[in-house]
Chain A
Amino acid sequence: MNKLIVSPSPHVHGGDSVKKNMCGVILALAPALLVSLYFFGLGALIVTLVSIASCVLFEAIIQKYLLKTEISIKDGSAFLTGLLLAFNLPSNLPVWMVIVGAAVAIGIGKMTFGGLGNNLFNPALVGRVFLLISFPVQMTSWALPAKLPMTYTDAVTGATPLGIMKEGLMKGETVSTIMSKLPSLQDMMLGNIGGSMGEISAIALILGGIFLLWRKIITWHIPVSMIAAIAIFAGILHTVNPEHYAGPVFHILTGGVLLGAIFMATDYVTSPMSKKGMLIYGTLIGVLTVLIRVFGSYPEGVSFAILIMNAFTPLINKYVKPKRYGEVIKK
């Protein structure tokens, strides 16, 4: 008789894997990528490819030559970081800056902490914020959407809706006058607006979100609490002074809110473990986003809000616990 394998229970596994989760998220990002390729054309293609290739390459190099560990690029996490980093960049960013961003994202954001699972901050956002602070001009000159444009760094640039709003308010204009200069609601839904590559189309991002929920890759807690917090906070401000504060729909459909809520804040590694914790985390990201947008000097605040809350995740995990069986005695 062959030797029997003896191991402790359970003897079956559900078949889920790190790779399946990563591939699921990548698939969920496909609609937004297609929209981006349509509106930003060649630029979007170059930035995406360079970002993914350099993230994967940096991870392999660091694992092989610096950490001397097994190369784990096949799990798809570096690919995903590359894709998400590209989604957070303007489509006309020069290649070398994209490479610098990828080096920071993977090198400092991820591998310094020990690789996948150990990083404190969302690597793609670490890369993006590093670039934003280092190259503020290039990182805020956005290509304007066109139909499959064959342009890259030579693209026609313009401001994002959030930028137009911030600038207008600084000049003392009222919200209603600024709104008349902005793209229509329909354009915002479809993605016919300026902005980072992956954040423009609300519909494409929501489609991806539905896919993630359906495949049980994420739960609703973080995206819903974050968006609800933004809606409520922005709604209160707007009600108090509608001529000085833009409304909730504007805040949700512009900038990185949907990309952040569905794909960035839900990053497994850097978000809390309990559902209660996720609700607190999502809510605070929403509040911080509006605070930065309305009262800060940057027009956009999603990246900063998520990174700040990443820092609080260990604290939330320590103090916010899931509901235990038998905790509340029902007689």
Chain B
Amino acid sequence: MKTFKIGGIHPAENKFSAHQKIQTAPLPKQAVVMLGQNLGAPAVAVVEKGAEVKVGTLIAKAGGFVSANVHSPVSGKVAKIDEVVDASGYKRPAIIIDVEGDEWESRIDRSEDLVKDISASKEDILAKIADAGLVGLGGATFPTHIKLSPPPGKKAEVLIINAVECEPYLTSDHQLMLEKSGEILVGIRILMKAIGVTRAIVGIENNKPDAIALMQKLAQNELGIEICPLKVQYPQGGEKQLIDATIGRQVPSGALPIEVGAVVQNVGTAFAVYEAVQKNKPLIERIITITGKSIEKPSNLLARIGTPLSELIDFCGGLPEDTGKVIGGGPMMGKALLNLEVPMTKGSSGLLIMPSLEAEREKMRNCIRCAKCVNVCCMGVEPYLLMSLVENEMWTEAEAAHIMDCVECGSCSFTCPAARPLLDYVRLGKNKVGAIIRSRK
């Protein structure tokens, strides 16, 4: 079975919410819609305090080339446009809407019917995706329409769909495939049309045999769509690792996947593309996994953007007594949250509630030079070396040791027997070295 060739680890999967049917989360009383929900420039508000909005009304326009529209996820009245503390702990602008009823824009097709025929042209597809404010739903939140428009001179050869879900605990993509496989396949067809390729590969790790079987059955009738089961290994959902695993090509250092002819999209994004193009539905809700060892009901929820995370936790049985840490995303790359009043955003793939027993790190010891960090590094760099270079502020040497190649998967810190915070230091170094590189230009 295929997998990527360099490094990798096997963290405990802990997929407690696997096979939990997608439930619709209750509407919030007040939705807090962040303006910066995508990688790149934040959107610019186009509504004012007191404006009446429906579900799907455009409330903020893309604020630059790399940016995405934001639509109202609820119906009601704009209470204020103000700064709120986001998941990173910084104050950022948001549109706060008092919810009244649940009235949708009339252009949105809310029926469950599967629309298979793709009538939109390539240009229409890209325009609809841009209008709908789609971003990569795997967590990176890069605006989808830009990823689908390769730079001049570059030609896409293959579309790779990321259905790996290699983060432990998370199950939203898995459940989405089980419940919406037909829609996903239409979404893949739309994406293929948008980038003009005849071949698509769906990479799924073989810890989801039911999803593989279901998708394989459906893909039989679809010319050019292959389902590629992958050997379970973290970080296979990393774009570079997935390209290597599925088509055996490696993206050169510092280059984009298009350099090897690949465009990678998350399976959740493919579903959102279906809804945007076939149903005129902007990105106003998504599937989020609420999970953890002590939470009462680990669940996969369909929740509106802007819903405070605390309300989602309450819906799943409330915050457990022994909670030590709450992580937005998975345990390997997710972000620990400072408070639970932060709202759901387009990039919220999961919420992991961790007991305090597991929340604290082991005491750091001397590096015993066991080379385990080197062996697991999926980019083939040397974490132990990068850490000591950063400790000694040797930025030139750190750059020469390819510190900027690091994708921050965390396998090194996960593996280190001396519990050294390797990735913390590498991140520090990447910040510094990145600034030095930018200042040269």
Residues on A close to B: CB < 8 A? 1-2, 4-14, 16-18, 20-21, 72, 75, 114-118, 219, 268-275, 278, 317, 321-331
Q: In angstroms, how far is the closest chain B Cβ from the Cβ of A272?
A: 8
| B327, CB-defined interface residue at 8 Å | yes
Are A322's CB and B380's CB within 8 A? yes
Known: A324-B379, A331-B249. A12 touches B332 (CB 8 A): yes
Are A4's CB and B325's CB within 8 A? yes
Q: Which residue of A lies closest to B372 (CB)?
A: A16
The residue among B240, B365, B427 with the most chain A CB atoms within 10 A of its own CB is B365
- In B333-381, which residues have CB < 8 Å from any A CB? 333-340, 352, 354, 356, 358-362, 365-372, 374-375, 377-381
Known: A6-B337, A11-B327, A11-B331. A326 touches B369 (CB 8 A): no
A10 to B411, CA, bound (A): 8
A5 to B337, CA, bound (A): 8
Are A118's CB and B382's CB within 8 A? no
List 11 A-B pairs, Cβ < 8 Å: A4-B324, A9-B335, A11-B352, A12-B168, A12-B332, A13-B413, A17-B419, A117-B368, A325-B378, A326-B253, A330-B250
Are A116's CB and B366's CB within 8 A? yes
Q: In angstroms, how far is the closest chain B Cβ from the Cβ of A22?
A: 9
Apart from A17-B362, A117-B367: 6 A-B pairs, beta carbons within 8 A: A4-B323, A10-B413, A16-B372, A326-B405, A327-B250, A331-B249
Q: In angstroms, how far is the closest chain B Cβ from the Cβ of A238?
A: 34
For the complex, would chain B's binding face be called helix, strand, loop or mixed by DSSP majority? Answer: loop
Interface size class of B (residues with CB under 8 A): 35 or more
Closest 10 pairs between A and B when the two form their complex, measured CB to CB: A10-B410, A117-B366, A324-B380, A268-B370, A16-B417, A12-B331, A6-B336, A326-B250, A273-B371, A11-B331
Are B375's CB and A219's CB within 8 A? yes
Q: In angstroms, how far is the closest chain A Cβ from the Cβ of B369?
A: 5
The residue among A6, A11, A72, A329 with the most chain B CB atoms within 10 A of its own CB is A11
* Chain B residues positioned under 8 Å from A323 (CB to CB): 6, 380
Are A7's CB and B336's CB within 8 A? yes
Q: In angstroms, how far is the closest chain B Cβ from the Cβ of A167?
A: 40
Q: In angstroms, how far is the closest chain A Cβ from the Cβ of B380?
A: 4
A61 to B322, CA, bound (A): 41
Are A268's CB and B336's CB within 8 A? no
> Quick one: which of B356, B368, B381 contacts A21, CB cutoff 8 A?
B368
Q: Which residue of B lies closest to A20 (CB)?
A: B417
Q: Which residue of A lies closest to B384 (CB)?
A: A273
* Chain A residues positioned under 8 Å from B384 (CB to CB): 273
* Chain B residues positioned under 8 Å from A14 (CB to CB): 9, 11, 414-415
A214 to B380, CA, bound (A): 23
> Quick one: which of B361, B369, B379 contacts A7, CB cutoff 8 A?
B361
> Quick one: which of A2, A16, A115 contacts B416, CB cutoff 8 A?
A16
